Protein backbone atom coordinates (compact mmCIF):
# COMPACT_ATOMS: atom_id res chain seq x y z
CA UNK A 1 0.00 0.00 0.00
CA UNK A 2 1.26 3.49 -0.86
CA UNK A 3 2.33 5.83 1.91
CA UNK A 4 -0.37 8.09 3.37
CA UNK A 5 0.08 11.64 2.06
CA UNK A 6 -0.30 14.42 4.61
CA UNK A 7 -0.09 18.21 4.40
CA UNK A 8 0.81 20.03 7.64
CA UNK A 9 -0.26 23.69 7.67
CA UNK A 10 1.05 25.81 10.56
CA UNK A 11 2.78 29.19 10.84
CA UNK A 12 4.96 27.77 13.64
CA UNK A 13 7.56 26.43 11.22
CA UNK A 14 9.55 24.61 13.88
CA UNK A 15 6.43 22.79 15.08
CA UNK A 16 5.63 21.60 11.54
CA UNK A 17 9.24 20.57 10.93
CA UNK A 18 9.50 18.36 14.05
CA UNK A 19 6.05 16.84 13.59
CA UNK A 20 6.78 16.15 9.91
CA UNK A 21 10.07 14.50 10.89
CA UNK A 22 8.27 12.21 13.36
CA UNK A 23 5.57 11.34 10.81
CA UNK A 24 8.15 10.54 8.12
CA UNK A 25 9.82 8.13 10.55
CA UNK A 26 6.43 6.38 10.68
CA UNK A 27 6.45 6.07 6.91
CA UNK A 28 4.08 8.91 6.05
CA UNK A 29 4.68 11.15 3.05
CA UNK A 30 4.51 14.66 4.55
CA UNK A 31 4.60 18.16 3.05
CA UNK A 32 4.44 21.38 5.07
CA UNK A 33 3.03 24.86 4.42
CA UNK A 34 3.51 27.90 6.65
CA UNK A 35 0.38 29.75 5.66
CA UNK A 36 -3.01 29.36 4.03
CA UNK A 37 -1.93 30.66 0.61
CA UNK A 38 0.90 28.12 0.27
CA UNK A 39 -1.41 25.36 1.54
CA UNK A 40 -4.00 26.19 -1.14
CA UNK A 41 -1.30 25.91 -3.81
CA UNK A 42 -0.12 22.57 -2.42
CA UNK A 43 -3.59 20.97 -2.50
CA UNK A 44 -3.99 22.08 -6.12
CA UNK A 45 -0.67 20.48 -7.05
CA UNK A 46 -1.06 17.22 -5.21
CA UNK A 47 -3.65 14.85 -3.76
CA UNK A 48 -3.48 14.46 0.06
CA UNK A 49 -5.13 11.80 2.21
CA UNK A 50 -5.30 14.31 5.07
CA UNK A 51 -4.60 17.98 5.74
CA UNK A 52 -3.64 18.99 9.29
CA UNK A 53 -4.57 22.65 9.60
CA UNK A 54 -3.88 25.29 12.26
CA UNK A 55 -6.65 27.80 12.97
CA UNK A 56 -4.76 30.97 13.89
CA UNK A 57 -2.40 31.94 11.08
CA UNK A 58 -1.32 35.25 9.56
CA UNK A 59 -3.18 36.23 6.40
CA UNK A 60 -5.85 33.71 5.44
CA UNK A 61 -6.73 32.05 8.74
CA UNK A 62 -7.56 28.36 9.25
CA UNK A 63 -11.33 28.72 8.84
CA UNK A 64 -10.95 30.65 5.57
CA UNK A 65 -8.34 28.16 4.31
CA UNK A 66 -10.70 25.31 5.19
CA UNK A 67 -13.55 26.93 3.24
CA UNK A 68 -11.40 27.57 0.16
CA UNK A 69 -9.91 24.07 0.18
CA UNK A 70 -13.33 22.44 0.41
CA UNK A 71 -14.72 24.67 -2.36
CA UNK A 72 -12.13 23.17 -4.72
CA UNK A 73 -12.24 19.66 -3.27
CA UNK A 74 -15.27 18.83 -1.11
CA UNK A 75 -13.89 15.36 -0.32
CA UNK A 76 -10.67 16.65 1.20
CA UNK A 77 -10.18 15.29 4.74
CA UNK A 78 -9.19 18.23 6.93
CA UNK A 79 -8.20 17.86 10.58
CA UNK A 80 -7.92 21.08 12.56
CA UNK A 81 -5.06 21.08 15.06
CA UNK A 82 -4.95 24.25 17.05
CA UNK A 83 -3.95 25.86 20.30
CA UNK A 84 -6.97 28.08 20.06
CA UNK A 85 -9.64 25.51 20.69
CA UNK A 86 -12.98 26.97 21.62
CA UNK A 87 -16.24 25.07 21.40
CA UNK A 88 -17.64 27.70 19.01
CA UNK A 89 -14.68 27.44 16.64
CA UNK A 90 -14.83 23.62 16.77
CA UNK A 91 -18.55 23.60 15.94
CA UNK A 92 -17.99 26.15 13.15
CA UNK A 93 -15.13 24.11 11.67
CA UNK A 94 -17.08 20.84 11.75
CA UNK A 95 -20.14 22.54 10.22
CA UNK A 96 -17.90 23.80 7.44
CA UNK A 97 -16.63 20.30 6.75
CA UNK A 98 -13.61 19.60 8.96
CA UNK A 99 -13.53 15.92 9.92
CA UNK A 100 -11.79 16.41 13.28
CA UNK A 101 -10.89 19.18 15.68
CA UNK A 102 -7.85 18.51 17.90
CA UNK A 103 -6.22 20.69 20.51
CA UNK A 104 -2.47 21.34 20.74
CA UNK A 105 -0.39 19.83 22.18
CA UNK A 106 -1.69 16.59 20.63
CA UNK A 107 -0.04 13.21 20.98
CA UNK A 108 1.28 11.75 17.75
CA UNK A 109 -0.56 8.43 18.20
CA UNK A 110 -3.86 10.29 18.34
CA UNK A 111 -2.94 12.24 15.20
CA UNK A 112 -1.90 9.09 13.35
CA UNK A 113 -5.19 7.44 14.28
CA UNK A 114 -7.13 10.40 12.88
CA UNK A 115 -4.98 10.44 9.74
CA UNK A 116 -5.66 6.73 9.18
CA UNK A 117 -9.41 7.29 9.55
CA UNK A 118 -9.21 10.26 7.17
CA UNK A 119 -7.23 8.20 4.69
CA UNK A 120 -9.81 5.39 4.71
CA UNK A 121 -12.60 7.90 4.23
CA UNK A 122 -10.70 9.62 1.44
CA UNK A 123 -10.21 6.24 -0.26
CA UNK A 124 -13.93 5.37 0.09
CA UNK A 125 -14.93 8.72 -1.37
CA UNK A 126 -12.55 8.37 -4.31
CA UNK A 127 -13.89 4.83 -4.96
CA UNK A 128 -17.46 6.16 -4.89
CA UNK A 129 -16.41 8.96 -7.20
CA UNK A 130 -14.81 6.47 -9.60
CA UNK A 131 -17.88 4.19 -9.55
CA UNK A 132 -20.17 7.15 -10.23
CA UNK A 133 -17.98 8.23 -13.13
CA UNK A 134 -18.12 4.75 -14.70
CA UNK A 135 -21.86 4.53 -14.11
CA UNK A 136 -22.36 7.92 -15.80
CA UNK A 137 -20.25 6.90 -18.79
CA UNK A 138 -22.18 3.62 -19.14
CA UNK A 139 -25.52 5.44 -18.98
CA UNK A 140 -24.43 8.06 -21.51
CA UNK A 141 -23.11 5.45 -23.90
CA UNK A 142 -26.21 3.26 -23.38
CA UNK A 143 -24.11 0.24 -22.36
CA UNK B 1 -0.80 62.06 34.76
CA UNK B 2 -3.72 63.16 36.94
CA UNK B 3 -6.32 60.47 37.05
CA UNK B 4 -10.07 61.01 37.10
CA UNK B 5 -11.01 60.83 40.81
CA UNK B 6 -14.38 59.17 40.03
CA UNK B 7 -12.64 56.03 39.01
CA UNK B 8 -12.63 53.37 41.75
CA UNK B 9 -11.16 50.21 40.24
CA UNK B 10 -9.62 50.53 36.78
CA UNK B 11 -9.24 46.81 36.20
CA UNK B 12 -12.89 45.88 36.68
CA UNK B 13 -14.79 47.67 33.93
CA UNK B 14 -16.15 45.46 31.12
CA UNK B 15 -13.80 47.06 28.59
CA UNK B 16 -10.83 46.52 30.91
CA UNK B 17 -11.72 42.86 31.19
CA UNK B 18 -12.11 42.63 27.41
CA UNK B 19 -8.65 44.20 27.04
CA UNK B 20 -7.16 41.81 29.59
CA UNK B 21 -8.85 38.90 27.79
CA UNK B 22 -7.58 39.95 24.35
CA UNK B 23 -4.00 40.16 25.60
CA UNK B 24 -4.02 36.92 27.60
CA UNK B 25 -5.80 34.96 24.84
CA UNK B 26 -3.12 35.94 22.34
CA UNK B 27 -0.25 35.28 24.75
CA UNK B 28 -1.61 31.93 25.95
CA UNK B 29 -1.92 30.85 22.32
CA UNK B 30 1.74 31.66 21.77
CA UNK B 31 2.73 29.83 24.97
CA UNK B 32 0.77 26.81 23.80
CA UNK B 33 2.80 26.83 20.60
CA UNK B 34 6.02 26.87 22.62
CA UNK B 35 4.84 23.90 24.70
CA UNK B 36 3.73 22.03 21.56
CA UNK B 37 7.17 22.43 19.97
CA UNK B 38 8.94 21.21 23.13
CA UNK B 39 6.46 18.33 23.38
CA UNK B 40 7.08 17.26 19.77
CA UNK B 41 10.85 17.65 20.20
CA UNK B 42 10.79 15.40 23.28
CA UNK B 43 8.69 12.97 21.24
CA UNK B 44 11.26 13.02 18.46
CA UNK B 45 14.01 12.18 20.95
CA UNK B 46 11.96 9.27 22.32
CA UNK B 47 11.28 8.05 18.77
CA UNK B 48 14.99 8.06 17.96
CA UNK B 49 15.88 6.26 21.20
CA UNK B 50 13.21 3.64 20.57
CA UNK B 51 14.33 3.12 16.97
CA UNK B 52 16.22 0.04 15.75
CA UNK B 53 19.64 1.71 15.82
CA UNK B 54 19.74 4.71 18.16
CA UNK B 55 23.52 4.84 18.08
CA UNK B 56 23.54 5.71 14.39
CA UNK B 57 20.46 7.96 14.29
CA UNK B 58 21.25 9.93 17.44
CA UNK B 59 24.32 11.63 16.08
CA UNK B 60 26.04 14.42 17.99
CA UNK B 61 24.83 16.89 15.36
CA UNK B 62 21.21 15.79 15.72
CA UNK B 63 21.38 15.87 19.51
CA UNK B 64 22.86 19.37 19.29
CA UNK B 65 19.95 20.49 17.08
CA UNK B 66 17.42 19.03 19.50
CA UNK B 67 19.12 20.66 22.50
CA UNK B 68 19.24 24.02 20.69
CA UNK B 69 15.55 23.79 19.83
CA UNK B 70 14.56 23.03 23.45
CA UNK B 71 16.79 25.83 24.71
CA UNK B 72 15.43 28.36 22.17
CA UNK B 73 11.82 27.50 22.97
CA UNK B 74 12.48 27.60 26.73
CA UNK B 75 13.97 31.07 26.35
CA UNK B 76 10.99 32.14 24.23
CA UNK B 77 8.58 30.79 26.86
CA UNK B 78 10.41 32.50 29.74
CA UNK B 79 10.32 35.85 27.89
CA UNK B 80 6.59 35.51 27.22
CA UNK B 81 5.85 34.61 30.86
CA UNK B 82 7.94 37.52 32.17
CA UNK B 83 6.05 39.95 29.92
CA UNK B 84 2.71 38.48 30.92
CA UNK B 85 3.64 38.60 34.60
CA UNK B 86 4.69 42.27 34.33
CA UNK B 87 1.41 43.02 32.57
CA UNK B 88 -0.69 41.13 35.14
CA UNK B 89 0.93 43.04 38.00
CA UNK B 90 -0.06 46.38 36.48
CA UNK B 91 -3.50 45.76 37.99
CA UNK B 92 -2.00 45.69 41.52
CA UNK B 93 -2.07 49.43 42.15
CA UNK B 94 -4.60 52.00 41.04
CA UNK B 95 -1.97 54.73 41.27
CA UNK B 96 1.75 54.18 41.02
CA UNK B 97 4.86 55.62 39.34
CA UNK B 98 5.74 53.65 36.21
CA UNK B 99 8.34 53.99 33.48
CA UNK B 100 6.87 54.84 30.09
CA UNK B 101 9.44 53.20 27.76
CA UNK B 102 9.24 49.85 29.56
CA UNK B 103 5.44 49.88 29.75
CA UNK B 104 4.96 50.78 26.08
CA UNK B 105 7.55 48.25 24.95
CA UNK B 106 6.07 45.45 27.10
CA UNK B 107 2.55 46.02 25.79
CA UNK B 108 3.77 46.23 22.19
CA UNK B 109 5.48 42.84 22.52
CA UNK B 110 2.36 41.31 24.07
CA UNK B 111 0.15 42.44 21.19
CA UNK B 112 2.68 41.78 18.42
CA UNK B 113 1.01 38.51 17.49
CA UNK B 114 -2.29 40.34 16.82
CA UNK B 115 -0.47 42.53 14.28
CA UNK B 116 1.39 39.53 12.83
CA UNK B 117 -1.90 37.77 12.17
CA UNK B 118 -2.91 40.71 9.98
CA UNK B 119 0.57 40.72 8.40
CA UNK B 120 1.16 44.14 9.86
CA UNK B 121 4.69 44.88 11.11
CA UNK B 122 4.97 46.32 14.59
CA UNK B 123 7.87 48.56 15.61
CA UNK B 124 8.69 50.28 18.90
CA UNK B 125 10.82 53.34 19.52
CA UNK B 126 11.74 54.37 23.05
CA UNK B 127 12.69 57.82 24.28
CA UNK B 128 16.43 58.20 24.97
CA UNK B 129 15.79 58.84 28.67
CA UNK B 130 13.49 57.20 31.18
CA UNK B 131 10.13 58.94 31.59
CA UNK B 132 8.08 58.39 34.70
CA UNK B 133 4.32 58.74 34.80
CA UNK B 134 2.07 58.52 37.79
CA UNK B 135 -1.32 56.80 37.58
CA UNK B 136 -2.75 53.40 36.69
CA UNK B 137 -0.33 51.58 34.35
CA UNK B 138 -3.12 49.15 33.49
CA UNK B 139 -5.48 51.87 32.27
CA UNK B 140 -2.62 53.54 30.43
CA UNK B 141 -2.01 50.25 28.57
CA UNK B 142 -5.73 49.90 27.89
CA UNK B 143 -5.57 53.31 26.27
CA UNK B 144 -2.54 52.31 24.18
CA UNK B 145 -4.35 49.15 23.13
CA UNK B 146 -7.42 51.15 22.10
CA UNK B 147 -5.16 53.29 19.85
CA UNK B 148 -3.52 50.15 18.47
CA UNK B 149 -6.92 48.58 17.72
CA UNK B 150 -8.29 51.76 16.10
CA UNK B 151 -5.33 51.81 13.68
CA UNK B 152 -5.04 48.06 13.16
CA UNK B 153 -8.67 47.88 12.13
CA UNK B 154 -7.88 49.96 9.03
CA UNK B 155 -4.39 48.59 8.39
CA UNK B 156 -3.68 46.24 5.51
CA UNK B 157 -1.12 43.49 5.01
CA UNK B 158 2.28 45.12 4.55
CA UNK B 159 1.54 48.17 6.69
CA UNK B 160 3.60 49.08 9.75
CA UNK B 161 2.27 50.11 13.14
CA UNK B 162 4.72 52.14 15.16
CA UNK B 163 4.70 52.82 18.91
CA UNK B 164 6.95 55.67 19.96
CA UNK B 165 7.67 57.37 23.23
CA UNK B 166 8.46 61.05 22.72
CA UNK B 167 8.85 64.10 24.84
CA UNK B 168 10.31 64.24 28.31
CA UNK B 169 9.47 63.73 31.96
CA UNK B 170 7.71 67.08 32.02
CA UNK B 171 5.87 66.71 28.69
CA UNK B 172 5.40 62.99 28.04
CA UNK B 173 3.96 62.04 24.65
CA UNK B 174 3.25 58.60 23.23
CA UNK B 175 2.37 58.16 19.56
CA UNK B 176 0.84 55.16 17.84
CA UNK B 177 1.11 55.54 14.07
CA UNK B 178 0.37 53.61 10.92
CA UNK B 179 1.77 54.15 7.42
CA UNK B 180 -1.72 54.32 5.97
CA UNK B 181 -3.80 57.48 5.64
CA UNK B 182 -7.03 57.43 7.60
CA UNK B 183 -9.29 60.26 8.66
CA UNK B 184 -10.17 60.59 12.34
CA UNK B 185 -13.87 60.45 11.42
CA UNK B 186 -13.50 56.99 9.92
CA UNK B 187 -11.84 55.57 13.04
CA UNK B 188 -13.59 54.27 16.13
CA UNK B 189 -12.07 56.60 18.72
CA UNK B 190 -14.79 56.47 21.37
CA UNK B 191 -12.78 54.16 23.59
CA UNK B 192 -9.61 56.23 23.10
CA UNK B 193 -11.48 59.37 24.13
CA UNK B 194 -13.00 57.78 27.23
CA UNK B 195 -9.71 56.22 28.37
CA UNK B 196 -7.65 59.35 27.67
CA UNK B 197 -10.07 61.24 29.87
CA UNK B 198 -9.83 58.55 32.53
CA UNK B 199 -6.03 58.77 32.74
CA UNK B 200 -6.09 62.55 32.64
CA UNK B 201 -4.49 62.83 29.21
CA UNK B 202 -5.63 64.13 25.87
CA UNK B 203 -5.26 62.80 22.34
CA UNK B 204 -4.90 64.24 18.86
CA UNK B 205 -5.14 62.52 15.50
CA UNK B 206 -2.65 63.59 12.86
CA UNK B 207 -3.27 62.37 9.34
CA UNK B 208 -1.61 63.15 6.01
CA UNK B 209 -1.41 61.46 2.61
CA UNK B 210 0.78 58.64 3.87
CA UNK B 211 0.35 58.29 7.64
CA UNK B 212 -2.09 58.39 10.52
CA UNK B 213 -0.94 58.92 14.10
CA UNK B 214 -2.74 59.09 17.41
CA UNK B 215 -0.72 61.20 19.81
CA UNK B 216 -1.32 60.92 23.54
CA UNK B 217 -0.27 63.86 25.67
CA UNK B 218 0.09 63.68 29.42
CA UNK B 219 0.72 66.36 31.91
CATH number of the domain bearing residue B165: 3.30.565.10
Whole-number pLDDT of residue B84: 97
Give yes or no for A19 touching B (CB within 8 A). yes
Query: B49 to chain A, minimum CA–CA distance in Å?
Result: 12
The better pLDDT of the pair A106, B161 is held by B161
Chain B residue with CA closest to A84: the answer is B29
Give per-residue pLDDT as tens, B130-182: 999 999 999 999 999 999 999 999 999 999 999 999 977 788 999 999 999 98
| Residues B185 and B124 both lie in one domain | yes
CB of A72 less than 8 A from some CB of B: no
Residue B57 belongs to some domain of the structure: yes
Size of interface A-B (CB pairs under 8 A): 54
B49 in the same domain as B144: no
Considering only alpha carbons, which residue of chain B is nearest residue A106? B36
Say what the ipTM of the complex is: 0.84
Query: Could you tell me which of B119, B1, B69 has the C-alpha nearest to residue A11?
Result: B119
CB-based contact A18:B44 (threshold 8 Å)? yes
Together in a domain, B125 and B180: yes
Domain boundaries, position B139: 94-217
Please tell me the pTM assigned to this model.
0.86
Comparing CA positions, the residue from A53, A73, A71 lying closest to residue A63 is: A53
H helix runs in chain A, sequence order: 13-25, 36-45, 62-72, 87-96, 108-141
Residue B110 lies in a domain: yes
Confidence of residue B1 (pLDDT cuts 50, 70, 90): low
Has residue B10 got a pLDDT over 60?
A: no
> What is the count of structural domains for chain B?
2
Does B14 fall in a domain? no
Query: Dihedral angle at the C-alpha atoms of B100, B103, B109, B110, nearest 10 degrees?
Result: -150
Percent above pLDDT 70 for chain A: 92
**Co-location of B180 and B111 in the same domain:** yes
Let me know if residue B65 belongs to a domain: yes
What structural domains and CATH numbers belong to chain A? 5-141 (3.40.50.2300)
Amino acid sequence: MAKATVLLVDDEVEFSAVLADRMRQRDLDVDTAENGEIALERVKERRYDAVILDLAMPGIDGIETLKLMLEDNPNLQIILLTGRATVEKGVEAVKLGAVEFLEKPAKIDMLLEKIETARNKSFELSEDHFENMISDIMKRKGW
Amino acid sequence: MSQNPDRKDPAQSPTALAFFGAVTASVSHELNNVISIVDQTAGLLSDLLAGPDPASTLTAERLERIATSISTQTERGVTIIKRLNTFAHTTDEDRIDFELNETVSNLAELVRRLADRRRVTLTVESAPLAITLSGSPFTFQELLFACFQALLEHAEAGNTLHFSVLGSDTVPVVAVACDRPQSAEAMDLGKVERLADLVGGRFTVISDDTHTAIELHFS
